Chains A and B, each alone.
Chain A
Amino acid sequence: MDTIAEIPKEEFILKCTSACAGCSDSLALRYVLKAAGQDTVLVVPACCTSVIQGIYPNTAFNIPVYNVAFAAAAACASGMSNALRSTGKKTNVIVYAGDGGTLDIGIQSLSGAFERGTDFLYICYDNEAYGNTGMQRSGGTPIGARTTTTPGGKTDVKKDIDAIVAAHDPPYMATACAAYPQDLFKKVQKALTFRGPTFIHLLAPCPPGWRFSTEKTVEMGKLAVKSGMWVLWEREYGKLSISAQSKAAIRKPIPLEEYLVPQGRFKGIDPKSLETLKQRLAKNIKKLTAEEAEV
């Protein structure tokens, strides 16, 4: 797919969501649903998406959305998928959850569903904090970032949920970014062709949370990938392939500062944290490129 014009026109996210101006969660979901199509159920734990749907008696999403308690999304999806498949239905079961609901409170049910080989797609849209409650730190918050519960900058590193999920040997997993809709579209389509648990970890830049102005959402996503802070890749049965945009970024990365400086959450970042960010970025790229090069 070379142009955005090849993405289907049908919209599953209707007008009048309750999203903030510049929200990448709803932007990404728009492409996720275009890739998944009408025969889809979305399972949504407590997260920004719970609010974006709008308030009773309306919903802004034109597919069934099952809202469920914070810790329970993957377990609920597991039950739902088993029930649908046992009655011969092929309906896509997609969990659409934030980083808090995936890396922290939702990790138990995520691990269980993956360990049992559940046939579903789990998408974690990661805005690197608890967005719905006003941007408190989560396991997904990078080191050095300011949140309302880490006013001096987080002192722990970002939890590597991809490694944790990979340890469950899913048939397909990938990273994506809201700023690259075609890449996301393709990955969702591909994930849905596999039977079994699939995982997409999607970077979702957040203007109020990361403190940048609302028209810069897509730009932030691109800077994340171009600096190497976020690497786009896929794993099919564990075999890694780095996506084209990240290959280009690895060849000629932009300095990490170009990504960090426009974000208020990194203002005045502790030099040690900055150093850790850079080291981990370098280590990650080295590890991924080495793995891909292995025959």
Chain B
Amino acid sequence: MYEIRIHSRGGQGGVTAARLLALAAIHDGKYATACPFYGAERRGAPIVSFVRIDDKPIRIYSQIKKPDLVVVLDASVMDVVDVLQGLKKGGSVLINSAHKREFPGFSTSNVDLTGIALKENLIVAGAPILNTPVLGALAKMGIISVDSAKKAIREMFSDERNVKAAEAAHREMSS
């Protein structure tokens, strides 16, 4: 089983990112569950969402304690949240960042999701959409296939710019 924890702020689409990822994994023929953690959730507050992917039905509902991958959609949450907590030894980090960041001991991938979203004009209520481009980065990391990523995006969103942004993230992600 592969466990992913996604860090973002309320209103940024972190919960939808989890759903898209699970949906893409299901299109890859895997089993997947996605779950948001509901604290006192409101716009702007740090939130976490979880995704589990496995080849067998997933029977675990409790929170992910030792993720294999941590995704940070908003680097500013790192001021208040320890995003690396529990990350397995040899685990990976995927961070939305314009400049190269490193987390010693963990393999880190950087991708400027915000920049990509702005370039594609993928903005809603003044905020760049990060949850569709991040799927492209996750596909580049091999978590899901590119075809399933696009299929999942198209099932949830009619605007093709979401797919273009995912493709850009796929191209631009650096490890």
Q: In the bound complex, do residue A213 and residue B44 qualify as a contact, i.e. CB atoms below 8 Å apart?
A: no
- CB-based contact B126/A20 at 8 Å: no
Interchain CB contact (< 8 A) of B40 among A21, A51, A208, A214:
A51
Residues B125 and A18 in contact, CB atoms below 8 Å apart: no
| Interface members, chain B 86-129 (any A CB < 8 Å) | 125-126
Q: Are A21 and B126 in contact (CB under 8 A)?
A: no
Interface pair B126/A213, CB less than 8 Å apart? yes
Judge whether B126 and A18 touch: CB under 8 Å: no
Residues of A within 8 A of B126 (CB): 213
Q: State whether B40 touches A18 (Cβ < 8 A).
A: yes
For B40, list chain A residues within 8 Å (CB).
18, 51, 54-55
Q: Which residue of B lies closest to A208 (CB)?
A: B43
Chain A: interface residue count, which band?
10 to 19
Residues 228-256 of A at the B interface (beta carbon under 8 Å):
none
For the complex, give the distance between the alpha carbons of A204 and B44 in Å: 21
Is B42 located at the chain interface by the 8 A CB criterion?
A: yes
Q: Which residues of B contact A214 (CB under 8 A)?
A: 43
Interface hits, B25-54 → A, CB 8 Å:
40, 42-44
Rounded to whole angstroms, the CA-CA distance of A18 and B43 in the bound complex is: 10
Closest chain-A Cβ to B13's Cβ sits at a distance in Å of: 15
Residue contacts A-B, CB under 8 angstroms, 15 given? A18-B40, A18-B42, A19-B42, A20-B42, A20-B43, A20-B44, A21-B43, A21-B44, A51-B40, A54-B40, A55-B40, A208-B43, A213-B125, A213-B126, A214-B43
| Closest 4 pairs between A and B when the two form their complex, measured CB to CB | A18-B40, A20-B42, A20-B43, A21-B44
Beyond A20-B42, A21-B43, A21-B44, 12 additional pairs, beta carbon < 8 A: A18-B40, A18-B42, A19-B42, A20-B43, A20-B44, A51-B40, A54-B40, A55-B40, A208-B43, A213-B125, A213-B126, A214-B43
Q: Which residues on the B side are within 8 Å of A208 (C-beta)?
A: 43
Residues of A within 8 A of B42 (CB): 18-20
Shortest distance from the beta carbon of B80 to any chain A beta carbon, whole Å: 13
Inter-chain CA distance A20–B42, complex, in Å, is 6
Residues of B within 8 A of A51 (CB): 40
